[in-house]
């Protein structure tokens, strides 16, 4: 009998016993592995959170009790249990369900979440609102998978206090450096403390003592003080209790009975609770358990072998390999990542130069300021970061790097459309905020060779901060007969023609391919997008129409800056900016996203020819 077949809402699992729940967990894992092998997605983190999520929905009543998943990439079981099982095959596809939590999909998804370390802050706000409204429902923040390395999580913990009586924080610890309890006595006592019978007995004793005048209150305070003192002796980590939480753990995160017990205790608690559980990232799939980083976010793969279906050089791998080449010859070269060494191509560098490799955890703000310190004392730091995550460190980029006149090289991966990862991960905002930063040069390579050359320029030909932004995946094409000569821009075709197409980075290839099907047109490829060399306007003196195609946001983007240069020049030119308007980009393939925003080759031809 398939238990999963009969689960269409959280209520359907409340009548299942422990053995049946374990069978259900096994079936959920099978569905996850099968779906992600076809669609790609976050596998290892989700496999590790299966029992936890099942236990949460067994004990609590979503959405009256609100569950907030940090990052959102450990929510697949939650989606399956909350009415999206039959749609799960559409995970991360165009028009399908999101790979992250999304309130528009389900009332059980409280927030859209794709970035880390936000859950506790959100949960505190939710809990406070419930308290103000007289709502006794619980709020549960599920944080883990490295998210507790982010500073926002600590800011939230610091502001949680004792007053959030309906707040529960679950730390899903899958190999983070948080101390275990000392010795078997502590573990046995922890087992007793998480027993619902013990908790009920303790509550009854306290109520009985409260009825005794004077003496009862004194005895109750003495017991509480003694209890706290014993916990400090028996446990290494008292940080959470010092911050006002009742701390339970560590709990085996794959023991569903133990999870149900401790969650049942937390549910009736009249105090903020933190539950620390240990899980195995990739649990239940051998390849993911052995290599959780590889299966954290993975494309389509062969279930039998665990190997990706497609492979080959990518911008990330070319960046990592060439950085090793630079580091071979220059001991000042350092690499910094914020918990993304695999995704940014730095695994080879970390193995070859461990003393010059720094993984700071999910802490982009710290990464930038740390890099400024390296630069100040003579090193050449390369900070490799996804475009969508660099957003978190804008202030540090401005204040601690650019304003100081320091040379930090920002290697911005996943710039532009990223496809199926959806709204939270699209790299279309970095151009807009980078264009506003003084003392910063921004390059946009269109090929692997250009990426390497621009890395060299950043290290040895620029005196201030440099950003190099490049897309996810492989290069689209080479332009026959063209060689990048470190010019700020290049012109393709006869600049005396009336129509000009302008672009940069990956998008230029679509423009170049469209050029042969457009009458009376030439093209300009911007290699340095900040600052834009004003001499480029000289190439437009015979142009009547300029079309700027940008794989980025309109407001503050490169196209707006280019249009401003035209306006200031006094040239009578019709200017049209084709880009992403004021909106978030839904999940779809990159090819489909290009078409939707009229940035694909056929749309470019149609746009320019029709005008």
Largest interatomic CA distance in the chain: 98
Dist CA 181 CA 445 (whole Å): 51
Contact 185, 233 (CB under 8 A): no
Contact 368, 383 (CB under 8 A): yes
Q: Is 554 a catalytic residue?
A: no
Q: Phi-psi bin for 183: left (phi > 0), alpha (psi -120 to 50), beta?
A: left
- Between the alpha carbon of residue 493 and those of residues 518, 521, 524, 546, the distances in Å are 12, 8, 9, 14
Q: Is 541 a catalytic residue?
A: no
Dist CA 495 CA 489 (whole Å): 13
Contact 443, 468 (CB under 8 A): yes
Q: How many helices (H) and strands (E) does the chain have?
A: 23, 17
Kindly name the residue from 392, 407, 472, 499 that is annotated as catalytic. Answer: 392
Per-residue DSSP letter, 402: I
Dist CA 254 CA 55 (whole Å): 10
Dist CA 572 CA 579 (whole Å): 22
Q: Is 452 a catalytic residue?
A: no
Kindly name the residue from 364, 450, 551, 560 that is annotated as catalytic. Answer: 364
Kindly name the residue from 92, 193, 281, 407 that is annotated as catalytic. Answer: 281
Structure tokens, 77 = 């079981």
Per-residue DSSP letter, 298: B
Dist CA 451 CA 397 (whole Å): 21
Q: Which segments of 364-459 are extended strands (E)?
A: 380-386, 409-413, 440-443
Structure tokens, 27 = 């079936």
Active site residues: 281, 364, 392
């Amino acid at each position: 009998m398939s238990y999963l077949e009969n689960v269409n809402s959280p209520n359907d699992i409340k009548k299942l016993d422990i053995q049946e729940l374990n069978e259900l967990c096994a079936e959920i894992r099978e569905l996850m592995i099968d779906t992600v092998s076809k669609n790609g997605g976050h596998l290892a983190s989700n496999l590790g959170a299966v029992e936890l999520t099942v236990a949460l929905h067994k004990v609590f009543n979503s959405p009256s009790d609100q569950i907030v998943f940090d990052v959102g990439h450990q929510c697949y079981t939650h989606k399956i249990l909350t009415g999206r099982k039959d749609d799960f095959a559409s995970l991360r596809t165009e028009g399908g369900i999101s790979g992250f939590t999304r309130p528009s999909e389900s009332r059980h998804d409280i927030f859209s979440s794709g970035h880390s370390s936000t859950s506790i802050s959100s949960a505190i706000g939710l809990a406070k609102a419930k308290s103000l409204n007289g709502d006794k429902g619980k709020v549960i923040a599920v944080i883990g998978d490295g998210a507790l390395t982010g500073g926002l999580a600590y800011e939230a913990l610091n502001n949680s206090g004792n007053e959030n009586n309906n707040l529960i924080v679950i730390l899903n610890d899958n190999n983070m450096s948080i101390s275990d309890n000392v010795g078997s006595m502590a573990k046995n006592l922890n087992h007793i403390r998480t027993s619902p019978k013990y908790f009920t007995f303790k509550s009854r004793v306290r109520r009985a003592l409260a009825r005794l005048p004077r003496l009862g209150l004194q005895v109750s305070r003495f017991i509480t003080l003694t209890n706290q003192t014993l916990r400090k002796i028996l446990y290494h980590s008292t940080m959470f209790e010092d911050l006002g939480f009742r701390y339970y753990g560590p709990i085996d995160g794959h023991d569903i009975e133990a999870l149900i017990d401790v969650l049942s205790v937390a549910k009736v608690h009249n105090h903020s609770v933190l539950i620390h559980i240990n899980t195995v990232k990739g649990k239940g799939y051998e390849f993911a358990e052995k290599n959780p980083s590889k299966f954290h976010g993975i494309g389509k793969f062969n279930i039998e072998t665990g190997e990706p279906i497609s492979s080959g050089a990518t911008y990330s791998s070319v960046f990592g390999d060439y950085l090793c080449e630079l580091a071979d010859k220059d001991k000042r070269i350092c690499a910094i990542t914020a918990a993304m060494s695999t995704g940014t191509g730095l695994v080879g560098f970390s193995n070859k130069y461990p003393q010059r490799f720094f993984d700071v955890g999910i802490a982009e703000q710290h990464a930038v300021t740390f890099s400024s310190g390296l630069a100040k004392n003579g090193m050449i730091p390369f900070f490799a970061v996804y475009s969508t995550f660099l957003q978190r460190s804008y202030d540090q980029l401005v204040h601690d790097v650019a304003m100081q006149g320091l040379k930090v090289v920002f290697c911005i991966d996943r710039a532009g459309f990223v496809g199926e990862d959806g709204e939270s991960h699209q790299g279309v905002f970095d151009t807009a905020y980078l264009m506003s930063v003084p003392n910063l040069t921004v390059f946009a390579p269109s090929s692997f060779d250009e990426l390497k050359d621009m890395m060299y320029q950043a290290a040895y030909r620029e005196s201030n901060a440099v950003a190099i932004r490049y897309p996810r995946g492989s290069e689209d094409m080479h332009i026959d007969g063209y060689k990048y000569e470190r010019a700020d821009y290049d012109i393709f075709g006869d600049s005396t023609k009336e129509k000009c197409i302008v672009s940069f980075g990956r998008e230029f290839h679509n423009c170049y391919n469209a050029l042969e099907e457009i009458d009376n047109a030439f093209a300009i490829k911007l290699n340095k997008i900040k600052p834009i060399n004003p001499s480029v306007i000289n190439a437009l003196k015979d142009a009547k129409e300029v079309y700027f195609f940008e794989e980025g946001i309109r407001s503050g983007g490169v196209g707006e800056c280019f249009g401003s240069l035209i306006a200031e020049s006094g040239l009578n030119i019709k200017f049209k900016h084709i880009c992403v308007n004021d909106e978030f980009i839904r999940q779809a393939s990159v090819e489909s996203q290009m078409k939707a925003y009229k940035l694909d080759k056929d749309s470019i031809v149609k746009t320019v020819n029709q005008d």
